[in-house]
Amino acid sequence: MTDGDSIRLPQLLNDGGAVALTGDWTLRSLQPVLKQMRRQLADASGAAHWDLTRIGRLDNFGAQLLWRYWRAERPERLDVSEAIDRTLSRVAALGGVEPTPRRGSLLDPIAAIGAVGIGLARHVIEFIALLGQLAIDFGYLLFRPGLWPLREISANLYKTGVRAMPVTALVGFLIGVVLSYLSALQLKAFGADIFIVNILGLGIIRELGPVLVSVLVAGRSGSAMTAQLGVMRVTEEIDALATMGISRYIRLVMPKVIALCIAMPLLVLWASAVAILGGMVSAYLQLDIGFLFFLQALPQAVPLPNLYIAIGKGVVFGMMIALVACHFGLRVKPNTESLSANTTASVVSAITMVILVDAVFAIATRGIGVPI
């Protein structure tokens, strides 16, 4: 046996009819000279006499390489030691497995289009099934107050609501400052400084606040929800719950949906308030509009229904984000690829859905709360 770390380079000595191999014919020793060896073996492949007695070591890879260039047949004359012969026989016996055929036909593109359609349909059906299941569970819980997952709701409220306050405040404040600054530049030109209150108030409370918070919460909590459910799926925790007779919808999905329905409108109010504060600071610096004046003008510029619309949007967007996150979380298959794909899909779909629903809101409430 050779020493652990010394390898002898494989060599092929070809003198017309007879071929002799020396050195180690292992994956490790062949690796640096593989191209060269392939060429030499191809040249020698027709030889009738092969001498393998001077070979050091031969592993499965080396044996397979030889076997391939022998075209799966023993050469007419083969000089070989017993141990190496065993390796060759093993490769000969186990090899020769035909490559698994790649299935493919002209209909594949059509099948791919169909698969996308079926996939979409399945998404819709599963989403409706999730809604239905939640409605059934909700009805079931109505008469059994003891079964409400209050602890989970409270935990989710903390995680998705309280913990999101700093980041929503920061983003809200900066957006407020930027919006106010840009508007102030334009308004100054028209001498319509006072309308900064209307622009900021309506824009932030009615539109920007809810959408901004939704995007942040979808990225922050929606992805976390999907990943959590997905990992629970991978580690079979969801199955463990089911065997204990605990509904995953009541214990895992419902708390998330309810918590986000409560947390989102509160976050919307919080973020809008901070954004208006940022706008006020900027308006004071740019247009010299005092805080007190701003706050007095705000209720006239922004009628109360706008606040109700904001809260309504918060509730609906929160529910959408949680439902979409749970829908994708429960679809995760037990592998890492599926987990990452579903988490990405969850965030992207949640944000898209929120913006779509926001457009519906804008149309449905176009006559409400806008002073003319």
Partner 1 sequence: MSAPVIELVGIVTRFGRTVVHDGIELAIEPGEVISLVGGSGSGKTTLLREIVGLLTPTAGQVRLFGEDLHAGSRAEQARRRRRYGMLFQQGALFSAFNVFDNVAFPLRELGCLSAREVHDAVMLKLAMVELQPEHALLMPAELSGGMIKRVALARALALEPELLLLDEPTAGLDPDRSAAFVRLIQDLQQQLGLTVVLVTHDLDTLAALSSRVAVLAERRILVCDTLDRIMTVEHPFIDRFFRSERSQRALARGLETL
Which residues bind to partner 1, rule: CB under 8 A? 1-5, 26-28, 31, 34-35, 59-61, 64-65, 68, 86-87, 90-91, 94-95, 97-100, 234, 333-338
Name the amino acid, one letter, at 240. Answer: A
Per DSSP, 26 falls in state S
Close Cβ partners of 295 (under 8 Å, ≥ 6 residues apart): 280
Nearest to 11 by CA among 44, 37, 50, 38: 37
Q: How far is the CB of 30 from partner 1 (least distance, A)?
A: 9
CB 72 within 8 A of CB 96: yes
- For residue 369, give the nearest of 301, 294, 290 by alpha carbon: 301
Q: What is the DSSP string of 284-324?
A: HHHH---HHHHHHHHHHHS-THHHHHHHHHHHHHHHHHHHH
Helix, coil or strand: residue 25: strand
> With respect to partner 1, which residue has the nearer C-beta, 3 or 288?
3
> d(Cα 21, Cα 109) in Å, to the nearest integer?
50
Could you tell me which of 224, 326, 236, 310 has the C-alpha nearest to residue 273?
A: 310
Shortest distance (Å) from residue 96 CB to partner 1: 9
Q: Compute the least distance from the CB of residue 238 to partner 1, in Å.
A: 14
Instruction: Return the DSSP state at 146.
Output: G
Single-letter residue type at 241:
L
Name the residue nearer to partner 1 (CB basis): 5 or 76: 5
Rounded least distance, CB 133 to partner 1, Å: 24
Cβ proximity to partner 1: between 65 and 218 the closer is 65
Residue number, 45 or 338, with CB nearest to partner 1: 338
Closer to partner 1 by Cβ: residue 15 or 108: 108
Smaller CB separation from partner 1, 31 or 186: 31
Which CB, 99 or 119, lies closer to partner 1?
99
Q: How far is the CB of 59 from partner 1 (least distance, A)?
A: 4
Q: How far is the CB of 125 from partner 1 (least distance, A)?
A: 23
For residue 67, the minimal CB distance to partner 1 (Å) is: 9
